[in-house]
Structure 1
Amino acid sequence: MSAPVAPPPPAFGRFFLPGPTDVHPEVLAAMQRPMIGHRSGAMEQLLAGIEAPLARLFRTSHPVLVGTTSATGFMEMAVRNGVRNRALSLVNGSFSERFAKLVRACGKECIRLD
């Protein structure tokens, strides 16, 4: 009898999800509804409706930025709007490596510390 063979990982990478995870029935029901288009009026209303509650949650009087982008999109926004000439990038993994590359891609000097 041969030992069981694990299937190869998917070509797109691995999922690092916790599990098994219990999902509340209300969440399951919400997942069955059609998606809201990211450029629709419904999405605009949804985002406008959560900004004030998020500001209270974060205990801030400053504007809360809600965006429909990836973490990389937010990193690029931070670099393009918050970095004048150079940024210190503390590289200790793939996510911080991405940040260092993004700083350079935005035309800024990246001071890299591995």
Structure 2
Amino acid sequence: MAGQTATDLATRGFVVAGTGNATTKLDGTVRLSFGVNGIAAAYTLAAQFTDPILTFVAREDAAVDVTVGSAFQGLVAADAVTLDPTVALTGPEGCKPVEELLAEATTAPAAAETPAAPPAEG
């Protein structure tokens, strides 16, 4: 399924860096994982799917990872994608502004270090 989705996205002009299998199962249609520099690309890509889950992750590059889920039926019809470059992006209901996400990311407590194991005897 990943290979066909990659081919379909490439046909629509998206750059596909590679494909692979996810390590966990996704019950929805598709999850798009992206960082601060991939927001516009993620929302552009999201228009190609039905009910995508957009997930903000800690990454600096502009890449967007696409995880196809068990409910995925294919891309929406190309003529149904309605993107207008003159209209500002708007997030879905409940979406946090990126400034809030970044503030949370920089103020989150650091993970506690795991103490080293005592040296083995013998």
The TM-score, its normalising length taken from structure 1, stands at 0.26
| Higher radius of gyration, 1 or 2 | 1
Q: Which structure features the higher share of helix residues?
A: 1
Between the two structures, name the one with larger relative contact order (CA 8 Å, sep ≥ 6): 2
The TM-score, its normalising length taken from structure 2, stands at 0.25
